[in-house]
Amino acid sequence: MSAQFLKTGDRAKTNFGGEAYWVFEAQVLNPFKLVELKCVKANYVHPDMTENMRKEWLNTVLRFEISEDDKNHIHPRRPNAGYGLL
């Protein structure tokens, strides 16, 4: 990630090397409870891709629900029902 998400509206760019990249914007930042990130820019690059594939992550929302157990271990959970492509 190119930056930290310190407040809603903050953006960070990520990639895995090469030309492909994705920019995510913090929609919800509720420390130790909930994090939602929305893909606001997408540039997926693959040798056999179509133009639709380039933008396939655009507007996808990643939602991470975080909970603690009785031993103070943090357990992130990313439910996938109803959120974007995942």
User: Could you give the maximum distance between any two Cα atoms of the chain, in Å?
Assistant: 48
pLDDT of the residue at 1: 81
Strands (E) in 1-86, as ranges, are 11-14, 21-30, 34-43, 61-68, 74-77
Q: What is the pLDDT of residues 13-32, one digit of tens each?
A: 999 888 999 999 999 999 87
pLDDT per residue as tens digits for the range 37-66? 999 999 988 888 887 888 888 999 988 887
Rounded to 5 degrees, what are φ and ψ at 51?
Answer: -65, -35
